[in-house]
Amino acid sequence: MAKDIYIGEVSRNEEIQIDYFLMKVTLPASFAEPLPGQFVMIRIAGLHDPFLSRPISIYSFSRGKSNCAIELLYRVVGKGTQILAGLIKGSQVEISGPLGGSYAIDSLKKNIVFIAGGIGIAPLSWLAQYLCRKDGLTGDAMTFYLGAQTAEAVVGLERIQKLCYNITVCTDDGSLGAKALVTGIFQKDIKRYSPSDTIIYACGPKAMLQSLSAILSGKYACQVSLEERMACGVGACVGCAVAVKDEKGGKIYKRVCADGPVFELKDVIWE
């Protein structure tokens, strides 16, 4: 089912690292409060080239007396995001959302572990903010593992540092933090976390999530947000289908935009 389209106004759109941008959009008060893991489809108002909107995870949300605002953290990877990066303050955009499912909150788990790769920090940062604000969690209840290729690709760390006390940063080349893959660092620490008391939330490249799946072997509760290219955002085009296990262990395909983007890691079939 299609979501309403809102006209938003860009109040900030800054390059915070090379090719990484932080955009803030003011929206009408009627825009629904998003849940962690949801996303929006965005396009420049009135622009028909490129035609397709771009899906971007919600990085934060705030509500004022007469309007609300979302923050979008994105990386320039093609024509569409390059055009978005050129927007100036006051530009108008069309926003459809919030779309997709969200991370499920399990308040019974005492260990909350986040594992982010690169731009995957965006939905996890919003989740951490949400847990602190809605569930009253404090920084010592959450542990954050953040990995990126280089120091220049580490974004959003300052915000996480305000939310979590236990943070491990690593880069592929060792230019910031440990020289290691984020899944490798987590694997060294995994004995700290009892499967019965731990919930893991992850978002990052496919290779990272596939590696995490092998490490966890289905023994831990783990929810992941999948990064697939989405064209429509509402499940009509089926361009973002992924293979998952059905209730009987067989294989079915689900749409990341409409059925996800959050899935149980143990259910994802890596093809």
pTM of the model: 0.90
Domains in the chain and their CATH numbers?
5-97 (2.40.30.10), 111-227 (3.40.50.80), 228-271 (2.10.240)
Distances (CA, A) of 153 to 20, 81, 172, 173, 203: 8, 16, 10, 11, 15
Average pLDDT in the 143-151 region? 94
* Rounded CA separation 42/34 (Å): 15
- Based on its alpha-carbon atoms, the radius of gyration of the chain, rounded to whole angstroms, reads 18
**What is residue 236's predicted lDDT score, i.e. its pLDDT?**
44
Nearest to 204 by CA among 148, 256, 247: 148
**From CA 126, how far away is CA 79, in angstroms rounded?**
26
Mean pLDDT of the chain: 87
Report pLDDT for 49: 63
Asked whether residue 248 carries a pLDDT value surpassing 70, the answer given is yes
Closest CA to 46 of 2, 1, 91, 3: 91
The residues near 260 (Cβ < 8 Å, ≥ 6 apart) are: 100, 101, 225, 226, 242, 254
Could you tell me which of 146, 145, 120 has the C-alpha nearest to residue 57?
A: 120
- pLDDT tens, 203-246? 999 999 999 999 999 899 999 998 755 443 344 444 578 888 88
Inform me whether the pLDDT recorded for 137 exceeds 80: no
Query: With left for phi above 0 and alpha for psi between -120 and 50, is residue 217 left, alpha or beta?
Result: left
| Residue type present at position 158 | E
Average pLDDT over residues 105-126: 90
